[in-house]
């Protein structure tokens, strides 16, 4: 299954800043919480994490050495 | 539940203790499971317990009055945190938070004191561990004082790609908190490193494509 950015539902206030900033149109607010509905569109650009005023979105990177 | 004998035998804190001695002290520990993102200790709280990471990763950090976070250390399995407050009896100098599902072995300050009184031979282990933590903090001071941001980020990437044991995944926010800079600066630095062909961003994987060049970047920016 394609991994998605993590949303901390306790921190998320549903303000919609992430949905407005998402270049891919992957995030919408569902029942007052940020939800990634267009999973194939998410390009992991981390803009949602950058703009979230509550620090409720996390785009984590696995760091590996090639080869 | 008591700590596992194997875990305590492998811990540098208890090196040199016999198996029967370890079996006795294992009953002084209790196990705690912490969910990802949950706080474990708070800066300014009394140092009432010493924590050993059995699995997962824990970040130790300070927060400025403006809310800026500086990660001082990421504690991986086998290592401990809250040592300073436990041994000097003061307040915890950092807060801690689970970066993944974390299993901890916890011992109270008074029980740890009792072990040191009963087994003074392990005092030398404590000196070794605290010295190693001071050395780590001195490296961080050197990094923050003398190395430019892109060099710091290059060093963090190399450190976290090191194959020795499982390492936690990092967000750009956490990279910034480790490097003592703003998240936006991390984003720009990663783009620069990618443009120079040293790294490649593959969705949620950050691949070091040219380890040699990235290492030179660390040394060049100091």
Query: Is A45 part of any domain?
Result: yes
Proportion of chain A above pLDDT 90, given as a percent: 78
How far is the C-alpha of B85 from the C-alpha of B109, rounded, in Å?
Answer: 9
Whether residue B88 sits in one domain with residue B169 = no
From A46's Cα to the closest Cα of chain B, the distance in A is 8
Angstrom distances, CA of residue A48 to CA of A7, A52, A54 = 10, 6, 11
Q: Cβ(B13)–Cβ(B129) under 8 Å? A: yes
Number of domains in chain A: 1
Query: Is B133 part of any domain?
Result: no
Q: Look up the CATH number of the domain holding residue B191.
A: 1.10.10.10
The arithmetic mean of pLDDT across residues B12-40, rounded, is 95
Query: Is A41 part of any domain?
Result: yes
Whether residue B118 sits in one domain with residue B179 = no
In this structure, how many other beta carbons lie within 10 angstroms of the beta carbon of residue A43? 13
pLDDT band for position B221 (50/70/90)?
A: low
The arithmetic mean of pLDDT across residues B17-41, rounded, is 95
Query: Is A65 part of any domain?
Result: no
Nearest by CB to B37, which of A8, A44, A59? Answer: A8
Higher pLDDT among residues B210 and B67, named by residue: B210
From A10's Cα to the closest Cα of chain B, the distance in A is 11
pLDDT of the residue at B104: 97
- Residues B30-47 have pLDDT tens digits of 999 999 989 999 999 999
- Residues B182-193 have pLDDT tens digits of 999 999 999 999
Query: Is A1 part of any domain?
Result: no
Mutation target among B56, B68, B97, B203 for the A interface, most CBs of A within 10 A: B203
Whether residue B115 sits in one domain with residue B11 = yes
The arithmetic mean of pLDDT across residues B8-37, rounded, is 94
Q: Look up the CATH number of the domain holding residue A11.
A: 3.30.70.20
pLDDT of the residue at B53: 96
Please check the confidence at residue B164 and state whether its pLDDT lies above 80. Answer: no
Nearest by CB to B171, which of A43, A58, A66? Answer: A58
Number of domains in chain B: 2
Whether residue B155 sits in one domain with residue B112 = no
Please check the confidence at residue B66 and state whether its pLDDT lies above 80. Answer: yes
A65 contacts B161? CB cut-off 8 A: yes
Please list every residue in chain A whose beta carbon sits closer than 8 Å to the beta carbon of residue B59. none
Q: For chain B, give the mean pLDDT.
A: 92
- Tell me which residue range forms the domain holding A12: 6-58
What ipTM was predicted for this assembly? 0.88
Nearest alpha-carbon partner for A56 in A6, A1, A3, A4: A6
The arithmetic mean of pLDDT across residues B204-217, rounded, is 94
Query: Is A64 part of any domain?
Result: no
Query: Is A20 part of any domain?
Result: yes
Angle subtended by helix axes B123-146 and B149-161, to nearest 10:
140
Whether residue B159 sits in one domain with residue B92 = no
- Residues A24-41 have pLDDT tens digits of 889 999 999 999 988 888
B172 contacts A44? CB cut-off 8 A: no
Q: Look up the CATH number of the domain holding residue B30.
A: 2.60.120.10
Query: Is A63 part of any domain?
Result: no
The arithmetic mean of pLDDT across residues B63-71, rounded, is 89
Query: Is B15 part of any domain?
Result: yes
How far is the C-alpha of B72 from the C-alpha of B60, rounded, in Å?
Answer: 6
Angstrom distances, CA of residue B197 to CA of A22, B204, B208, B212 = 26, 18, 9, 11
Angstrom distances, CA of residue B78 to CA of A36, B32, B55, B188 = 36, 15, 8, 35
Whether residue B152 sits in one domain with residue B208 = yes
- Tell me which residue range forms the domain holding B203: 144-220
Nearest by CB to B205, which of A43, A50, A64? Answer: A64
Dihedral sign, Cα of residue B146, residue B148, residue B151, residue B155: positive
From B120's Cα to the closest Cα of chain A, the distance in A is 41
Query: Is A66 part of any domain?
Result: no
Whether residue B79 sits in one domain with residue B30 = yes
Please list every residue in chain B whose beta carbon sits closer than 8 Å to the beta carbon of residue A49. 171-173, 183
Whether residue B68 sits in one domain with residue B14 = yes
Query: Is B129 part of any domain?
Result: no
Please check the confidence at residue B158 and state whether its pLDDT lies above 70. Answer: yes
């Amino acid at each position: 299954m394609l991994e998605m950015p993590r949303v901390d539902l306790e921190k998320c206030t549903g303000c919609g800043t992430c949905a407005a900033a998402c270049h891919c149109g992957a995030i919408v607010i569902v029942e007052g919480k940020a939800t990634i509905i267009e999973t194939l569109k998410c390009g992991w650009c981390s803009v949602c994490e950058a703009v979230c005023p509550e620090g409720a979105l996390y785009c984590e990177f696995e760091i590996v050495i090639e080869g | 539940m008591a700590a596992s004998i194997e875990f305590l035998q492998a811990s540098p804190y208890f090196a040199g203790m016999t198996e029967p001695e370890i079996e006795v002290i294992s009953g002084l520990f209790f196990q705690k499971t912490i969910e990802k993102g949950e706080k474990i200790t708070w800066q300014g709280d009394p140092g009432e317990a010493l924590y050993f990471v059995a699995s997962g990763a824990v970040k130790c950090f300070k927060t400025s009055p403006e809310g800026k976070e500086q990660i001082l250390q990421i504690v991986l399995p086998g290592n401990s945190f809250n040592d300073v407050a436990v041994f000097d009896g003061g307040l915890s100098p950092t807060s801690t938070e689970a970066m993944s599902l974390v299993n901890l072995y916890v011992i109270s300050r008074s029980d740890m004191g009792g072990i040191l009184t009963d087994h003074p031979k392990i005092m030398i282990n404590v000196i070794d561990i605290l010295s190693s933590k001071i050395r780590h903090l001195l490296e961080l001071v050197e990094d923050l004082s003398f190395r430019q941001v892109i060099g710091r980020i290059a060093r963090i990437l190399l450190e976290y790609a090191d194959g020795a044991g499982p390492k936690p995944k990092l967000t750009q926010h956490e990279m910034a908190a480790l490097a003592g800079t703003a998240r936006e600066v991390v984003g720009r630095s990663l783009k620069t490193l990618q443009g120079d062909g040293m790294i490649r961003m593959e969705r949620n994987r950050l691949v070091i494509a040219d380890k040699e060049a990235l290492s030179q970047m660390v040394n060049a920016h100091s």
